[in-house]
Amino acid sequence: ASPSLYRQLGGQPGVEAIVHDFLIRMADDARLVGFFAHTNIDHLADSLGDQLCEVSGGPCHYQGPPMDRVHQHMGLTDDDFYAMIGHLNKALMAQGVPAGARQRVIGIHLAAHEDVMRLARPAH
């Protein structure tokens, strides 16, 4: 990631607006909102903002647990994962992020697929 991706997201105010828009879309999705029933959403917004800032080359550092631990035992399917990606994509569009920057952010998140999902899948 280069500083210019962070700039194209609108810097810190842009990152915060994208996270806010994204979380509203997640909350409006009846299939996904239940995963967040016991989540402190303000803390989540802060963590997601730090992470998006960091991976886009901004001056932040995500301090939470590793992605496999965070999502361990949630019972997430690949469909849940890609539904989340869809909401992120819509949030980036709604916030006016240029297409090239949007595709880079989506690519970064797609690349995290195995990290996020490794311990997250439903027990069988």
Cβ contact 6:97 at 8 Å: no
The residue from 25, 71, 102, 104 that contacts ligand HEM (CB under 6 A) is 71
According to CB under 6 A, which residues from 29 to 68 bind ligand HEM? 32, 35-36, 39, 44, 47-48, 51, 64-65
Which of 9/48 has CB closer to ligand HEM?
Answer: 48
Where do we find the tokens 């029933």? 37
Contact pattern from residue 86 through residue 115 relative to ligand HEM, giving x for each residue in contact according to CB under 6 A and a dash for the rest: -----------------------x--x---
CB of 77 to ligand HEM, least distance (A): 9
Which structure tokens are listed for 16? 């915060």
CA nearest 46: which of 65, 63, 58, 26? 63
DSSP one-letter string for 29-87: -TTTGGGGTT--HHHHHHHHHHHHHHHTT-S----S--HHHHTTTS---HHHHHHHHHH
The reply, when asked if residue 43 is annotated as ligand binding, is no
- Number of residues near ligand HEM (by CB under 6 A): 19
Q: Which residues bind ligand HEM (CB under 6 A)?
A: 32, 35-36, 39, 44, 47-48, 51, 64-65, 70-71, 76, 80-81, 84, 109, 112, 116
